[in-house]
Structure 1
Amino acid sequence: MESLGAPGAGLAIALENLFPPLPSEVILPLSGFTASRGEMDLLDVLVCTTLGSVIGALALYWVGALLGRERTLAIAAKLPLVKTSDIEKTEAWFQRHGRKTVFFGRMIPIFRSLISIPAGVERMPVLTFTLLTTAGSLIWNTIFVMAGYWMGEQWELVESYVGIGTNVVIGLVVLAIVVFVGVRLTERRKGRHANRP
């Protein structure tokens, strides 16, 4: 952190969008701690990490835009247990709640990265996406950078507490997948019984 400075922290956050295993929950508090020791400027850290968030999010947005609706539907049609209607329902939901999803999604572990792709698929206006991503990222980054700044040598505690929240999110995602698979398998079984003479 000392050798790369604020631009290095921004680069790490940009990469975190593309490779979620790189945890912003560690990078941001450590940046704040380094700034508290006078080895980085606090404002530079906030600007660079937010810029990194936006650059990483835009990269995934364009992946979604290049993928497009037709390719997404074609991929979904080949996935087991997934129906085209699932994608259509997701599209309808995103059209109603897309702005809130992009803004608040920047503050939810895992979804922080993933939310950019459906925004691109749905071709949310780039300016709107960029503004919402900037606002959400600035709030998230500021909270964690300042936590590291104020906590000093104990900055690692931030990651510990957020790790609990991240595990809860992962648990809910796994539960949702299990329920989804269970429902689809039950529907398939009922369909087979109904088709028997």
Structure 2
Amino acid sequence: MEALGAPGAGIAIALENLFPPLPSEVILPLAGFTASQSEGKMSLFDAVLWTTLGSVVGALVLYGVGALLGRERVIFIASKLPLINVSDIEKTEAWFARHGKKTVFFGRMIPIFRSLISIPAGVERMPLSIFTILTLAGSLIWNTAFIMAGYALGEQYHLIEQYMGIVSKAVLGVVLLAVVIFIWVRLVDRRKGKHHAG
């Protein structure tokens, strides 16, 4: 960010969308802190503008990945995976058809899901204009909040990472628990099916 200014922050956030291990909870407060210290090199407005642009660009790339995969390829891949039924994909499609807009908007403010939500939006071919507007709105809120916090905290901006790290771990824990429950239920169903078949 010191070398490239606000565009550097935008590039970092675009990469964060593509590679979730790069946490926005670190990049955004740092951008706010940099804006508070940069003596004109990067303003708060520039930081919000460029990071939000980076968020949208990164999300559009992943939307494109989902669109290129398409429904048929996703179903084909799912049919080859153990413990996954095509009906799972169909249920997901139906759920996304009902709640897709809210999911894209609020998903931009949830760690980990920020990146992942763009792929099913692409698979389902959500209208690109709607996807872009929702992504822009959600990202603008998230980015502004963290940049402003970093700006206000100054050299203590790293405190945000500590607290959000707890939130990220909690989200990851819930996801892992859901995966474990899903696998357990599916294994139990298969055993019941074999028992009835016998």
TM-score of the superposed pair, with normalisation by structure 1? 0.98
Residue 195 (structure 2) pairs with residue 174 (structure 1): no
Deviation of 1:7 after TM superposition, in Å, equals 0.1
Q: Which letter does structure 1 place at the counterpart of 2:196? A: A
1:2 CA displacement? 1.0
1:133 corresponds to? 135
Give how far 1:137 is off. Answer: 0.1
CA–CA distance in structure 1, aligned partners of residues 197 and 91 of structure 2? 27
Q: Which amino acid aligns with 2:13?
A: I
> How far off its partner does 1:42 sit?
1.0
Counterpart Cα distance in 2 of 1:47 and 1:100: 23
Report matched runs for 1:136-155 at 5 Å. Answer: 136-155=138-157
Question: Displacement of 1:40 after TM fit?
Answer: 1.5
Match of 2:31 in 1: 31
Q: State the Cα RMSD in Å.
A: 0.6
1:132-178: per-residue Cα shift (whole Å, max 9, x none)?
Answer: 00000000000000000000010000011100100000000000000
Task: Please give the alpha-carbon distance, in whole angstroms, between the structure 2 residues aligned to 1:171 and 1:20.
Answer: 16
- Find out whether 1:94 has 2:96 as its counterpart: yes
Cα shift readout 1:89-131 (whole Å, capped 9, x = no counterpart): 0000000000000000000000000000000000000000000
Output the amino acid matched with 2:57: I
Equivalent position amino acid for 1:195 in 2: A
Name the residue aligned to 2:77: 75
Q: Distance in 2 between matches of 1:15 and 1:101?
A: 21
User: 1:40, 1:34 → 2: CA distance?
Assistant: 7
What displacement does 1:5 show? 0.8
Structure 2 counterpart of 1:160, one-letter code: Q
Q: How many residues align?
A: 196
Q: Tell me, which stretches of 5 or more residues in structure 1 are unaligned? A: none
Secondary structure of the residue aligned to 2:110 is: coil
Is residue 92 of structure 2 the alignment partner of residue 124 of structure 1? Answer: no
Give 5+ residue unaligned stretches, structure 2.
none
Deviation at 1:30, TM superposition (A): 0.3
CA deviation string 1:17-60 (max 9, x = no partner): 10001111100000000101134111111000000000000000
Q: Does 1:47 align with 2:45?
A: no
TM-score where L is the length of structure 2:
0.98
